[in-house]
Amino acid sequence: MIFEDDVVVVGSGLAELRAALELGEGTSVAVIQQGLSHTSPFWRCTREHWGYPSLATDAPKLDQVIRCILCACCTASCPVSLKKTSFLGPAPLIWAFRHVFDSQDTQYVERLQQLDWPDGAWGCRNQFECTRVCPKQIPITKGNNQMKREIEAVLQQPSL
């Protein structure tokens, strides 16, 4: 598989990729032609919202999520992403996790604010399809729930 800006080139075809990753036909990856799939929304969302995090690995919370290779399997299998295109999706959320819990990142509160909206962290409905299909076995849903708890703790504190 070769990743380009907006297209994933699959050597033996998208049907074989879906079968190998147990994605099924009802995924959010659009077939352009045999062997090509359209992933523009995935890449655009990931780049616009999160860019590239530092590679700090001093936080134990980052040990699992830094393995993300942005293959988009999680986003393609997510039932919420399929039905609601405004939802950020699992891959951008797991990259957001990398930023939020990166001790070298200086925009902690701002990043939590970016996630605190119905189509951000709160858009996830905990169906665990992203976690099930992740080729790197990253607990994506668990990570998103950790971010939700962080948002509640930091941003949604009652006023005194």
What token pair was written down for 62?
């980052």
Q: CB neighbours of 139 closer than 8 A, spacing ≥ 6?
A: 64, 131
Domains of the chain: 41-154 (1.10.1060.10)
The 8-class DSSP code of residue 68 comes to -
Residues in the chain: 160
d(CA 84, CA 65): 24
pLDDT tens figures, 85-129: 899 999 999 989 988 888 778 889 999 999 999 999 999 999 999
What token pair was written down for 18?
């879906």
pLDDT tens figures, 132-160: 999 999 999 999 999 999 999 999 765 54
| Cβ atoms 21, 133 nearer than 8 A | yes
Give the mean pLDDT of 20-36.
Answer: 47
